[in-house]
Amino acid sequence: MKTVRAYLSTLLIAALVLASLPVVAAPTAPQGMDLVSTQSVLAGDRAGADRERINEILARADVQDQLLKQGVNPDDVEARVAALSDAEAQQMAEQLEQLPAGAGVIGALFAVFVILLVTDILGLTDVYPFTR
């Protein structure tokens, strides 16, 4: 009985080793070679274009003056725009495009004010002292 057990255990070990060889020998994808979908590339391009549109509006002299009159540092606004997610940047750019020509500055300032206020309430920034 001991000899049968010895042969069986040896055969069992050999079977386990042979069964695990295809898993060990299977090719793996290189770490730096991830596939990128077309949609993700297009979404990244669109997000960059949305941020550029927002920054163009915020760079205008009249918008800068209004921001300073309301006590908002333009550098903080630029940092906030850079910190927006792609969806938030798209939403803000769409809102800026839908505004009438005369109300663009007021709407843009209101949108920036709301974004700054929300991030202040969440504790991500410290622009408005009345949110504490």
* pLDDT tens column, 41-57: 666 677 788 888 888 88
* Tokens 């800068």, located at residue: 64
pLDDT at 14: 66
pTM above 0.85, yes or no: no
pLDDT at 95: 81
Is it the case that residue 10 has pLDDT exceeding 60?
A: yes
Question: Which tokens belong to 3?
Answer: 């000899």
pLDDT at 32: 55
Instruction: Output 27 or 131, whichever has higher pLDDT.
Output: 131
Is it the case that residue 81 has pLDDT exceeding 70?
A: yes
Is it the case that residue 30 has pLDDT exceeding 70?
A: no
Are 43 and 86 in contact by the 8 Å Cβ rule? The answer is yes
Instruction: Output 16 or 23, whichever has higher pLDDT.
Output: 16
Other beta carbons less than 10 A from residue 60's beta carbon? 13
